[in-house]
Copies of this chain bind each other. A is one copy, B any other.
């Protein structure tokens, strides 16, 4: 754009080349309707005057805002959520590629928060939602589906029937890759540091560990599993419990990077070299993983592809489900024996 003083209107652009509003409008929205030469002149004028369609006017007419609603992850507890922060960034970028934008909001979890969604829709502030951090029994997918509101979720819409399109990462498969990696390094007794039962994501990852271990005829006995919160501290005490058991594992598979960090801390305390002594792995490949010493072997979630897929489900509005494969990122913490 050459000149960009302020807010040229469709009418002004049209007057500038002696055509009607609609012709200029078509230049942007339905170029095939225009005579090639007219199209060219229109585009030139648009560029010269720095015209950009007024989103409010367009939205008023088309009854849509071009905005996608996204609920921020609550910050109440002291929990790190680097993955979700990365996802939000990716979502934002992916939305821009489609000439849309992300509108943020906050809402309490559960039924209680539905009012906020209703309100945004009533105001026509957004015309679709991207759900994240769907919980088991989350009322949102059903509620939105009932009302015919376009939405797509990052994370399975756990429970009762297919309520809507979602994209998720195959956590079980990610864990299987981890176990296979450790097995190939010679580990034959692999412990699991998990979250408390009832979390869809955490249970899925545990399942992956169990299935893969069984596949290699490794033990998956209860004494190899410790469950707790998603904190460094929980990882530390969990690791201690496993290492102090009668037949301690030689590798610790953690359900997240935060938990793995705790395991690393415990090893450091005890003077056990992570990697060469006891192997440790995380999940999510957050910035934490690359920053520790030794670097933490982890499983990278393809956030960009997830965001891309979520938006594409939003557009095509097929009731599709898609499970993406995460990628094992090997660093020194899983060692070499």
A interface, CB within 8 angstroms of B: 4, 6-7, 50-57, 59-60, 65, 67, 72-75, 78-82, 85-86, 88-90, 92-93, 96, 101-106, 118-119, 122-125, 231-233, 236, 258, 262, 264-265, 268-269, 271, 286-288, 290-293
Contacts and interface: CB of A to CB of B under 8 A. Distances in A.
A93 B108 CA distance: 12
A4 B105 CA distance: 20
A38 to B, nearest CB: 23
A6 B78 CA distance: 39
B103 A4 contact: no
Contacts of A258: 291
B291 A53 contact: no
B293 A233 contact: yes
B101 A101 contact: no
B123 A55 contact: yes
Given A4-B118, A103-B103, A293-B265, A232 B54 contact: no
A195 to B, nearest CB: 14
Contacts of A93: 106
This chain: copies in complex: 2
Name the residue in A55, A56, A106 with the highest tally of chain B Cβ atoms < 10 Å from its Cβ. A56
Contacts of A57: 56, 60
A106 B92 contact: yes
A92 to B, nearest CB: 5
A334 B292 CA distance: 22
A264 B232 CA distance: 13
A72 B92 contact: yes
A7 B92 CA distance: 28
Contact of A89 (B4, B60, B75): B75
Contacts of A65: 55-56
Contact of A75 (B86, B268, B291, B292): B86
B72 A81 contact: no
Given A89-B72, A92-B105, A55 B293 contact: no
Given A80-B82, A105-B96, A232-B292, A72 B88 contact: yes
A123 B46 CA distance: 13
6 contacts: A7-B122, A50-B122, A85-B85, A103-B104, A236-B293, A268-B268
Given A52-B122, A78-B290, 10 more contacts: A55-B56, A56-B65, A80-B82, A88-B104, A96-B106, A103-B103, A104-B104, A231-B291, A232-B291, A236-B293
Nearest to A295: B233
Nearest to A85: B85
Contact of A265 (B51, B90, B268): B268
A7 B120 CA distance: 11
A265 B292 contact: yes
Nearest to A79: B287
B105 A104 contact: no
Contacts of A4: 118, 122
